[in-house]
Each structure stands twice: as structure tokens, then as C-alpha cells.
A and B are shown apart, each in its own frame.
Chain A
């Protein structure tokens, strides 16, 4: 196993001789996407005319199917098959893993008569056209025996239990420390259920060739999808060829497979014909995972100078009755601020809802909504500027583990952001700045998000024309993965960017964990880099052993790669000429990355600080963002353009969290109120007037050989709290209940006599 010390040595990426690393590079697949020629899973052309499938969803939260009448659907025009739990082909039992190395267990559909959540697949129709499939699906009539369901989170808090295998983390004596603190804060915050709202729904096109199935599907993890389908169908995983080339947004919601994958594969086998299945927009809201609601109690005890004595976050959240998941809304805080007495933990309510699961920055995105408001409230109690309060609680080592930080530029983020934003113009007394009917205020929040490196592989092929192709079972969920992998490969091999091709999203390629947890770039990128280094050694060996090479007999350690050439001092030739002559069939190598044995000796995170200015309509309670600025420190930046797009995209999502996004459960039905994008409101262009961000210069040589870290999730961390704090500064209304819609703000304005 490697050590982080190896990663600190100079390498082609850190030397960056071609300057490709950090450069503004347009998206590798951008032209295909904007011209509509990038085939997404549902649009892939199968080898012969496909049938179209449509799932029928449950309309109760919990109970049993008494009967399903499919006769009208079966008689409907164009219908090829109708399945229910009575006649769906056999699948492995839920969770079964015939192969212990499978990353995911069986995920059968319509496995029994039990209904476990509203939206669950109860029947399936395949027909000759999508329209006929949908029309027939609407004719399936289900009668139920309903059972009492737990679907109202706030009414079920008394059922909260310790999540399996977890315990609270206590350092020092929180109770005593809090009691002895001269200044105390004890408040409770709430963030609601939220949906990923990907533009592209879950979708699969499947066909069989003998005993092997090819599935084009929209999923963040190639191996996870391949293994889940293989286990479900009880076939070997090499009988599943999973391809996911372009993904119209995942955000955590496509970290797993859904019934579209299973049903397309089963129906294609049954009909001996390709089958396409997509979730409807309504099914995306009702039948895929969501970010769970979280209630967070924050207690802070401080000295008059602002130093924290006691620190606690207790989060209550929920998950589906049979699908354990904990939104770890307190974990981030264990590394954020210094305090000798600390208590953090989680409680979980089991509910009869679809699975709760990860959504962009799970844990941080919700948890920071509470703590970063609480810090603002504490700052006001103490009469200390919110930035200064955070600086006074900056730890020198990780406050819970005592480990050193790899790199920590949180204070620099806050100082740089305050200066560029004009934070000194903020009036600390709320409600003082009025422009016509608008009350204007500023708020800020700190941000932290963990950084990870997972094992991954990659392959590189160089053909006789000099084309370099990176092959990896990695996904690009719209983040820029294609582009940064091309940059890393080109820089590592010293070839121009246009000489590099990138092929991703295929289970036949060397595996990478996929996209999630902001580990994608570091993990896939490091594997690509290591594979590039293998290729350099392979090419050097090839050259020095080839009597026709100008490098014949040279010392391989002195060979360099630049401008598409392999060189030794003034002797050089192009990679194309070397490969064409010495190995005309092409050179293919694989490489891999693994976490360093000592990587976890450091507390390793990405950091940010966000500043918001909002205006509150004093008549209506409407909040409009005026400007927002974020400063982030996330290691070396690979691509200035895609990284900025990622980080500001996260900020924009956080704006939605603060102001609009919620999906309440109707307790009478156990269904979500909003099931389309006219009801579930994400920010529109008009909401995002002036949002900007910068990255601080940074390299984290404890992270990976590239010194990079993730940027996919950091941008949303703290955003909502910065806006909540700005609302308070603008109008004096302190809301602890997200999102901060006009009705809630108005109630506060009226209570203040405004």
C-alpha cells in the first residue's frame, strides 16, 4: 500500500508543464449535449424495434393487494404483456447476493402482495408504443386492504430510535459544560423532505443476445447497477452488460437502480425484443428516494469572548421501514469548531414512505442549515461579528479526533469572502436598511464537506495513429468527468488535449466507483493518472528496447513526455510513430489507485464560506436574493470552468433549499404533494441574479497524487443558512423552518408589527 508521502513527490500533474491542469476547458461532450445528439439511456437505438413499458404505482402507503384487474389493460390496443405480482417472472429475494462480491443485492419488483410505500410498482404493462403502454397502465384496477401507516414525521418523533450500529459521540462533559456557560443558545431547526428533481428520469433500454443482456440505463454507479440486475435476475454479473454514457443529473438519487432497469430486462427477455422503460415525472417524485426531513436541536454554550465551551447537535430524521438510511446531519460538526465539551448524534424514525437516501452532500446539506444559523444567533447574543465568532472557534487540530488537518483554509475562505463581498457594510442590527418596500440584509455561513478517495481502476489505449483513449467504468452525471479525465490523461502523457478520447460508463471497462459523495474526480482522476504513469513506463520500455527508436538503450528514468513526443534530451519521436512501429496493434495498459495506508491520519475536508444579500418585501414577505458570493478551498482545481459550474450549481441548489424546496407528505394518503416541476419549485433563472464564486489556491498532498479534492457537494454546504441569516439581518424575522416562503416570513413581519 502506498503512503501519502509518495503523493507529495513531483509528478506530471503537479508539474503541469502543458498547463492543462486548472485550465478553462470546454466540456468534452458539450457539443453532443447541446445539439441533442448525446444519446441518453432511453434514446439509445436498440438493434430492433423496441416495445415500451410502463409501471403502475400503488396509491396507498401500506397494506396488501386484494385484487388486481388487468383485463381491460390486456385488451387495450397494442398491449404485449401485463404483469403483476401473480405472474411476474421469478426474481431473487430482496437483498440476496448469490455472489458475495456483488456491490448490491437483488432488487426485485412486484415481489409480493405487500404495499410498503405509495408509488411502489404493483403492475407493469408493455405495448407497441409508449402512448399505448401508458393508456393501458391507466386501466389496471387495484383493490387494497389498507393498514395503518406512519407517514407524518413531525407526529412520529416519539418513535425516534438510535440508528442501528450507531452511538452518540460525546467528548468531555457536555451537560456540565453547557450548564456552566455564561451565554447559551438552545434552538431547534427543521428542514423538510426534498427531491433530487433530475431533468432526466430513471430510464432503461434493454435487449438480450442469447443469455446476455445489454442495458443502457441512467445510473451513477456502473458496478452497482450491473450487480443489482445480475442478482435480481439470478444470473452471473458478466451476463449483464451495463452502459450509462450520459446521465441527465443524478445528485445521489441515481446511486441505486430502480424498477425500470429490472422491468426492461425482464420484459425484453419475455418478449424476445428490446424494451424501453422510463419513470414518469410523477413516479420520479413518488417512487424514487428523497432527502429525508430533519429536525435538529442545537445547543451552544459560550464564554463572553465567544469561545465555545459546549457544543451539541442532535438530529432526528427518518427512513423507510425496511431500508435503513441515516441522514447524518451532525457528523460534519465534529470537525468544524473547537469546543471541549461536545455531544452529537442521530435518531431515526421508521416510516412507510419510499426510501430516504443520499442527496447532494447528505448530512452537511441539512446539518449546516441548523448550526450555521445557530452560530449567527449566538454571534448576535454575544455582540460579536459572525465571521469573527467563527474565527475565534477555529481549531488547531480536529476537535474530536485530535488528528492534524491535511490543509484547512476555512479562515482564509471567510476573510477573503468578507473582503470581496463587502461584509463590513453589513449593519449588525437587523431591519435597518430599507429601499422602498424592500428590507435589505446580509448573512454568511461557513461550509465544510469531507473528502474521499476510493479504489478505482482505469485503462489507456494508444493506437498507431497516436490517439490516446482513456477507458473507465466511471460515470459523468453532468459534472465534467469526461473533461477532467481528458485533461489528466493528456497532461500525464504529455499529449495535446485533442489527441485524447475518453470512454466511460461501461461495465466491460476497468471499474471505478462512479459519481457520488464528491469522490468522483479524485477517485477516477487518480486512477487515470496512475494508469498514465503505467503507460509512460510501458512506452519508455518499448522505446529503449527498440533498435529503431532514437531512444534505444537509454535510461528509462530519464525519458520525458511532452508535445505528443517521447524524448531523451534532444532525441525524440512522436508516440504515434513509436507505437506504429514497435507495437502496431496498439498499446493497452491498466492502472489503479487505492487509498494510502496512512491517509486517515489526517482530518481531511473541503471548506467554504458563503455570503448572501437578500431583500425582503415588507408588504408580502417575499425574499429575493440580490447577490451571493462563495469562497472555496478544495485542493488543486482541475478545470476552472467545470469546477466553477459545479460549485455555483451547488450554491444555486442551496438557494432552493433556503427559499422554495419542500415536498410535504399528505398524511391521509402517504403521498407527496408535489409530483411535477410546476409544484416542486427549484430556483428559476430570475431567482439567481448574481451568484459568483472563487477557489483559493490549494494543493492537498494528503488527498491523492493529484492534490485535488471534490467540489460536487461543497457548494451547497452552508448556503441555506447564509440566506436565512441574511433574511434575519434584513427584517429581524428569525426563521428556523426551511424553506423560508412568503407565508412564514409574513407571519414574522406581522408579529413584529411591520
Chain B
């Protein structure tokens, strides 16, 4: 671990300023991902700005009947909030299917969205990884890549996004609000937060240097059932092989791409009255197997069809 300095600013403006004035600085929230990465020097910030105690830990009802969830709410807090559980069961289900109870007690809403891939080759610092070391290559290509992406991948990176929460938020049409380093507030869709790898997998989100997520805003709950289903190798504390969030006839996938993946072709086909299996196949037409992950195509298709059977029946997870 590299030596680093540390501060805990009192307000959001000071936090953003601290990053702006200190090259190599990083925000520290729950630390459940960043500290692990620092121990193996995948992350080596020179300065940590601890935002964990900023006053961003409230959950408020919005005027349109949605929720505004502060970025420093913990995963446990959100998943156990009665409004979340009644209005957005898909979100509560997604959160509790991630990590472990101990991790969820520390991990935050903002941090969850900013967590980095769990690709084994990203974590193995002896291997090439374009995300970790741009231009070094992708060891997962041609490697033991059972858990790599089937959609939106590139020759530079076939990693996946690990977040469960983000998949549910994408299906709920949630947006994040941020404060930029210049002090400007802006808003963008959760589904647009993460970039696909392209030639620059080291650029992971649309956030600019020093930009801080301050909250997530979820619009009023749509009609129809909500289901989150995650397939994993063990019953708890394991990343998903694939997951699906179905909200009415909206579908988002986890474990298939480097971002929560809205299955827009499936949604369009469903809206046009196409039967579920064909609608799911419409999105999967672009899916690409890369070695050992081909099973994911059939798996996410079956999982989605089963989830839509439930949401169309109006069931809530």
C-alpha cells in the first residue's frame, strides 16, 4: 500500500474543492471496494477525501411520489427503508442480493455505483489489463473468462459491472445528481453513468474528475410487477453470473456488460406485443460469446423470460 494523506471535509462544497486542489486525490465513502484495491495497489491515491459523514444520508419523498436517496445512505439503510420496500421492491431485492450484511452496512449508494469490476484479471496485478494499465492488453480475452461480458464488450476489455443495485436503478429509470468540481449541479440517467469499454476501458463513467454523486432520484413507481433475479455460484456473498431487473415491461441486466444493461430492444418488442421469448431474443441477437461465457446468453434469456412471466402477472418480488 502506498502512503497517502487523509481529510474529512465538513460539507459537500469543501469535499469537491479538496479533490480539485489535490491531484491524485480520491473520494472515500464506505471503503468496501477502494480500500481492498489500495492494498494491492490497483488504486494508489495520494490523498483521500472522506465523504462518509457528509450530510447526504437521507431518503426523501419527492413531489412526484418518487424518492431522493442521498449518496451516503448505506445499502442496508436503503434496502430496509419501508418506502423502498413497498414502492421499489426490485431495488430492495437487488441490494440485499449483493455483498454480505457487513459490506452492505458500510457500502453507500454512491459508492455502489462507483465500484469497479470484479474481473479476476483486473485484480491480478501481474496480468495485463487495459483498465488497470491502459495499453497493456486484456488477459481475460482468451483467458478463463467464464464471467465476462456478452454485450457491449470490446477487444480492449470484456469485464462486467458488479453492481446489483445499479441494475434495479436502471430498470427504474433512476437518475443521479452530481456536483462538479466547478460547483455545478447536473443530472444524468443511471443507465448513462457508466461507459462501455471501447478503446478506453480505463474511463469508466461519465463523471469528470472531482465530480461527486450527491443523490439518486427515482421517479414514481411504474405500474406492474417488479422482480430482481440473480444467478450466482453460491447462495450468498457472490457476484452474479447474470441478473435481471424486470419492472413491468422494462428490463435491465447485470453481469452481461460493463454497465447495467437496459434491454431496449426487448422492451420495444414487448411494447409491440411480441411474445416474451422472441422479445428477449431480440436483445440477445447482439450478444457475443467469448470463450467460456457463452452459457450466459441462454441463461440471461431464460432468466428474463421467467422474470417477465412474474411481472406480467403483476407480482412483486
Contact = CB atoms under 8 A, between A and B. Distances in A.
Interface string A569-592: 000000000000000000000000
Contacts of A750: 298
B235 A59 contact: no
Contacts of B100: 684
Contacts of B142: 668
Contact of A620 (B146, B236, B302): B302
Contacts of A134: 1, 39
Interface stretch (A248-256, A387-395, A659-667, A695-703): A659-667
A114 interface: no
Dominant SS at the B interface? Answer: loop
Interface in B12-65: 39-41
Nearest to A741: B233
A742 B237 contact: no
A671 interface: yes
Interface stretch (B116-124, B192-200, B245-253, B280-288): B116-124
Contact of B298 (A135, A669, A746): A746
B300 to A, nearest CB: 10
B306 A681 contact: no
B299 A620 contact: yes
B315 interface: no
A687 B236 contact: yes
A741 B229 CA distance: 17
A59 B143 CA distance: 16
A161 interface: no
B238 A681 contact: yes
Interface residues of B, number: 35
Nearest to B306: A619
Contacts of A686: 234-237
A746 B300 CA distance: 11
Contacts of A669: 126-127
Nearest to B146: A743
Dominant SS at the A interface? Answer: loop
Interface in B220-257: 229, 231-239, 241
B257 to A, nearest CB: 18
B6 interface: no
Contact of B299 (A437, A683, A746): A746
A138 interface: yes
A159 B239 CA distance: 37
B144 interface: yes
B2 interface: yes
Contacts of A660: 233-234
Contacts of B231: 617, 620-622, 742
Contacts of A747: 295
Contacts of A659: 233-234
Contacts of A673: 120, 144
Nearest to B307: A619
Interface string A630-656: 000000000000000000000000000
Q: Which of A620, A679, A750 counts the most B-chain CB atoms under 10 A from its CB? A: A620
Interface string A721-754: 0000000000000000000011100110010000
Given A681-B234, A687-B235, A671 B1 contact: no
Contacts, number: 90
Contact of A671 (B40, B41, B124, B239): B124
A398 interface: no
B1 A131 contact: yes
A372 B72 CA distance: 52
A135 B1 contact: yes
B306 A437 contact: yes
Given A664-B144, A666-B144, A743-B299, A622 B123 contact: no
A282 B234 CA distance: 21
A622 B298 contact: no
A131 B35 CA distance: 13
Nearest to A744: B295
B303 interface: yes
Interface in B122-146: 123-124, 126-127, 139, 142-144, 146
B214 to A, nearest CB: 29
Interface in A195-233: none
A679 B234 contact: no
A605 interface: no
A350 to B, nearest CB: 23
A1 interface: no
A687 B118 contact: no
Nearest to A130: B1
B3 A684 contact: no
A85 interface: no
Contacts of A620: 229, 231, 299, 302-303
B1 A684 contact: no
A549 interface: no
B289 to A, nearest CB: 12
B118 A624 contact: no
A59 B126 contact: yes
Contacts of A685: 236
Closest 7 CB pairs of A and B: A686-B236, A686-B235, A743-B295, A59-B126, A684-B236, A620-B231, A673-B144
Interface of B: 1-3, 39-41, 100, 118, 120, 123-124, 126-127, 139, 142-144, 146, 229, 231-239, 241, 295, 298-299, 302-303, 306
17 contacts: A135-B2, A619-B303, A620-B231, A620-B302, A664-B144, A666-B139, A671-B124, A676-B123, A684-B234, A684-B236, A684-B238, A686-B234, A686-B236, A686-B237, A742-B232, A742-B233, A742-B241
Given A620-B303, A659-B234, A684-B235, 20 more contacts: A131-B1, A134-B39, A135-B1, A135-B41, A282-B124, A620-B229, A620-B231, A621-B299, A660-B233, A666-B139, A666-B144, A668-B142, A671-B127, A676-B123, A681-B234, A681-B238, A684-B234, A743-B295, A746-B298, A750-B298
